[in-house]
């Protein structure tokens, strides 16, 4: 009976340790997010722009500078210049959307003579 009690104590202690470590990990992630809301905004904008650029790429009409703007935006955000990063991401997203529109417009060209 003592061996079973000892095993229960060890398992309970392990579970409590794991729960404590998980809580500390979550708290540190929340602190990072709360400390830098600009990075959260950039990440959301970057993901949205990336989705539009991928759609444009599938149509075959992705514009020349779009990828460059995405790379520059990432570098600016990593350097802490979130204003520049957000402008570049917005520009890349707009180009992705316009490239999709261009692909749709040119799918069935209408010739006027």
50 plus 19 within the same structural domain: no
38/33 Cα distance (integer angstroms): 9
For the chain, the first-to-last Cα distance in angstroms comes to 97
pLDDT, position 92: 98
pLDDT, tens only, 34-88:
679 999 999 999 999 999 999 999 999 999 999 999 999 999 999 999 999 999 9
pLDDT above 70: residue 11: no
Residues 6+ apart with CB under 8 A from 55: 96, 100
59 plus 5 within the same structural domain: no
24 plus 43 within the same structural domain: no
Query: Band of the pLDDT at 110, cuts 50, 70, 90?
Result: confident
Name the more confident of 56 and 2. Answer: 56
pLDDT, tens only, 18-37:
555 555 455 545 555 567 99
62 plus 90 within the same structural domain: yes
45 plus 86 within the same structural domain: yes
73 plus 54 within the same structural domain: yes
24 plus 44 within the same structural domain: no
Query: Band of the pLDDT at 107, cuts 50, 70, 90?
Result: confident
Two tokens, residue 56: 């444009």
Considering the domain boundaries, does residue 112 fall inside one? Answer: no
Two tokens, residue 101: 């529109």
Q: Which domain holds residue 60?
A: 36-107
């Amino acid at each position: 009976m003592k061996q079973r009690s000892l095993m229960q104590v060890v398992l309970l202690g392990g579970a409590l340790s794991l729960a404590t470590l998980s809580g500390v990990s979550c708290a540190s992630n929340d602190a990072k997010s709360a400390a830098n809301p600009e990075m959260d905004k950039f990440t959301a904008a970057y993901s949205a722009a990336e989705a539009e650029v991928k759609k444009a790429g599938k149509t075959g009409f992705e514009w020349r500078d779009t990828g460059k703007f995405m790379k520059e935006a990432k570098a600016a955000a990593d350097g802490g210049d979130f204003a520049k990063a957000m402008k570049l991401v917005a520009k890349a997203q707009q180009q992705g959307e316009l490239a999709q529109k261009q692909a749709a417009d040119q799918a069935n060209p209408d010739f006027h003579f």
